[in-house]
Structures are given as C-alpha cells and as structure tokens.
Amino acid sequence: MLIDKAGDRKNIAYLFLFACVCVVMAVVAWPADATYEPKDKYEDLWSHYQHYETAILPAKVFPYMECFRQSSRRHKVPLTLLLAVARGESDFNPHSVSSANCCGIMQIKWPITATELGFKSREELFTPRRNIDAGAHYLRKMLDLHQGNYYMALAAYNQGPGRIPQSLPVEKLPQAAVDYNGYIYHHLQYVLGSKTVVQPSAVYVSEWKLPVIKFEAKFRAEGFIQYFKNRTPAVRLEWFRDSWGNSQIVMLYKNSKELDQGVRLMKKYGFTVNPDKKYK
C-alpha cells in the first residue's frame, strides 16, 4: 500500500482499521487458500455480459464515440466493451503513456504490439482514430485466440498472448490478469450505467481528479470505495490504475465547491485528503 506523505496519524489509524476489516472479510467470506477473491468470479460476470448485455447502449456519449462505433462494427467487438477498456486504460486520454511504454487511448505497447498492428512510428499511436481501431483489432485477435472467451481475451490483452496462450487453463490465470478483468469490469459498469435501452444524451466529461490513496491490491481499492459510498455517497470516488499498475483512488469533482465538500466529508469519516495534490 502506498500512503501519501501528507497523511497524518488519523489516516494511519484509519488505514490500520481498514486493513483489519479486509483481513476479517477475507477469513469469513473466502476459502483459506484464496489470495484475493475467487478467480471464477469475473469469469462468470463476463460470461453474463457476453450472453445478455453486449447489445445494451452506453449510458453516455463518450469521447471519440464515432471512432469507437466504427471500430466496434469493423472488428465485431461490443461497443461497451471497447469503451470500458478505453476508460480503464487511459480515461480516453490520447496522450497517455505508461511506464511500460504503452501509448494512447487503448494503451498499445510500443514497439512490439504496435508494429504487429501496422504502426511505423510511436507518434502514430497518439492519433485517436488509429489507436482505437488498433485496440479493437487487437482485442478481436485475443477473442479469436481464446474462442470468444471474454475473460481470457481480456487477460491476453493485458498480459500478452505469450503469457496467456490458448493452452493456458482458466484456473492457471495469473493474479494480475484476474485483477485486470475485475478492473475493466468495474469500468464496464460505469459505461453501462442503468443499462438503459434508450439512446442516451448525457455527454461524458473527464472531470477533475484529486488523488486520495493508492493500493497494490485491487480488492482493497474496491473496499475503500465501498466504505465511503456506504457512508457518504456525495463523495464521488473512482478507481484508475496509474502508470505502474497500482490502483489509484481519486475523488472526482466539477468545481471548487464540490472539492471542498468532498474533502470535508472524507475527513468527517476518518480520512484526511490533501486538496492541493495533483493527479498525474
């Protein structure tokens, strides 16, 4: 777990309590040999999405929507799946670059994956239309490799087909790949929203983000968000991965009034946030 230096003793005490709660939950709810959570949890959730939810329209009009629609049709990958991957990978930032040199909206790795997908230079990856289409193409290849299994295809998208070959049994999936499935599924729920069948009119806006805390383990990030959601739903916490793969919890806000309110409410429930910290 990575703790901001600005955190005071109250934060440390809270985190200790939070860690204890996580341990108790793990002992009570999961088998003794489970490191984080049952590995088949997201396999079942992705299977349900594949069979019942791929035709549902996105809850918002997301950035570069027409590019996503065209690539969805061209490569026969569900639109909401592409949007979930894009939000999780870069939050639709065409200039995003990870520590592993993955670039653009869909985080295409340079040079290995990018050259395989036809890119001649790293700079080409920062063109939204091309990057989105390349991501859809690559995800289609992973789906074909794993006979349409969304769970395994997403693992291969994240880890590469060399680490997630067709012959790999589902139960042997690395924990990092399991976590990635959960992470993208989290963003899929945002994309689907209330699962409306009516064409939405709300436009997605990438809001200001205030860094709150980082976790290495995905389930702790989910637990942290749920803890505050249950106590103060006015605080809008979201979860993104940083360039090193850690789970970065951020507070979303539209203006200084909402920022001040969120900081105040989090402090009321035991966690102090530095309002001047910048999101990278």
> Do 144 and 64 have their domain in common?
yes
> Do 178 and 217 have their domain in common?
no
> Do 130 and 173 have their domain in common?
yes
Per the domain annotation, does 201 fall within a domain? no
pLDDT at 34: 37
> Do 162 and 66 have their domain in common?
yes
By C-alpha distance, which of 190, 198, 276, 277 is closest to 225? 190
Per-residue pLDDT 10s for the chain (280 aa) are: 344 444 444 554 455 455 444 433 333 333 333 344 566 789 999 999 999 999 999 999 999 999 999 999 999 999 999 999 999 999 999 999 999 999 999 999 999 999 999 999 999 999 999 999 999 999 999 999 999 999 999 999 999 999 999 999 999 999 999 999 999 999 999 999 966 554 556 889 889 999 999 998 888 898 999 999 999 999 999 999 887 778 999 999 999 999 999 999 999 999 999 999 988 7
> Do 127 and 222 have their domain in common?
no
- CA-to-CA separations, 198 to 65, 79, 138, 189, in angstroms, rounded: 16, 15, 30, 17
The number of domains in the chain is 2
> Do 213 and 184 have their domain in common?
no
Domain residues for the domain of 113 are 41-192
Residue position matching structure tokens 């108790």: 24
Q: Catalytic residue at 207?
A: no
Q: The domain spanning residue 14 has which CATH number?
A: 3.30.70
Per the domain annotation, does 202 fall within a domain? no
Query: Rounded to the nearest 5 degrees, what angle is found at the Cα of 144, between the Cα atoms of 48 and 81?
Result: 45
Question: How many C-beta atoms lie closer than 10 Å to residue 140's C-beta?
Answer: 16
Per the domain annotation, does 277 fall within a domain? no
- On the question of a cis peptide bond just before residue 31, with omega within 30 degrees of 0, the verdict is no
The H-or-E segment that residue 21 falls in is: helix 9-29
Per the domain annotation, does 279 fall within a domain? no
Find the farthest-apart pair of alpha carbons in the chain and give their distance in angstroms, rounded: 54
* Spacing of C-alpha 234 from chain mean position: 21
Per the domain annotation, does 2 fall within a domain? no
> Do 188 and 230 have their domain in common?
no
CB 239 within 8 A of CB 249: yes
> Do 238 and 143 have their domain in common?
no
| Residue tagged active-site, from 89, 124, 171, 216 | 89
Q: The domain spanning residue 59 has which CATH number?
A: 1.10.530.10
> Do 48 and 178 have their domain in common?
yes
Per the domain annotation, does 164 fall within a domain? yes
Instruction: Read off the DSSP letter of residue 124.
Output: G
DSSP string, 242-270: -TTS-EEEEEEESSHHHHHHHHHHHHHTT
User: Would the pTM of this model clear 0.85, i.e. be above it?
Assistant: no
By C-alpha distance, which of 34, 25, 35, 44 is closest to 181? 44
> Do 157 and 103 have their domain in common?
yes
> Do 186 and 239 have their domain in common?
no
> Do 66 and 159 have their domain in common?
yes
Per the domain annotation, does 4 fall within a domain? no
Per the domain annotation, does 274 fall within a domain? no
- CA-to-CA separations, 20 to 27, 139, 212, 216, 270, in angstroms, rounded: 11, 39, 20, 16, 15
